[in-house]
Amino acid sequence: EAQVTQNPRYLITVTGKKLTVTCSQNMNHEYMSWYRQDPGLGLRQIYYSMNVEVTDKGDVPEGYKVSRKEKRNFPLILESPSPNQTSLYFCASSLKAGGSTDTQYFGPGTRLTVL
């Protein structure tokens, strides 16, 4: 089954404790992206990756890192989480970025709480 998986689905952590949220897709998609969603706000893009080893900042990249060493995986790293990073996080992938092949498939979300 074609899907995007995220782990963990729920995480409660403390300020400053490094964490990684994993994202994996099984559709051989080139484009992957991370979004955060806060109450009353839409989806805001954190980072995206056009292909392996190609990543760039979205609209809200501060406090986050990403890597794309393999096509299927796109982990989101919070080196020193802070309470303002408490949010619902979504990973998405599409065949290619933009244009007619940009149908984005989203993961189920990771609900992160930083105390």
Question: In sequence order, what are the residues at sequence separation of 6 or more whose Cβ sits closer than 8 angstroms to the Cβ of residue 105?
Answer: 2, 3, 4, 25, 27, 29, 92, 93, 94
Tokens standing for 71? 């096509």
Distances in Å between the Cα of 59 and the Cα atoms of 36, 85, 89 are 10, 14, 14
Size of the site for other proteins (CB under 8 A): 32
Contact between 90 and other proteins per CB under 8 A: yes
Contact between 7 and other proteins per CB under 8 A: no
* Among the listed residues 7, 22, 45, 113, the single contact to other proteins using CB under 8 A: 45
Q: 15 vs 59, which CB is nearer to other proteins?
A: 59
What dihedral angle (degrees, nearest 10) is formed by the CA atoms of 88, 64, 99, 43? Answer: 30
Helix (H, G, I), strand (E, B) or coil at 17: coil
Q: 18 vs 96, which CB is nearer to other proteins?
A: 96
Instruction: For the CB of residue 80, give the shortest distance to other proteins in the complex, in Å.
Output: 25
Residues 58-87 binding other proteins (CB under 8 A) are 58-59
Tokens standing for 88? 């619902």
Catalog residues that contact other proteins under the rule CB under 8 A: 4, 31, 33, 35, 37, 41-45, 48, 50, 56, 58-59, 88, 90, 92, 96-100, 102-109, 111
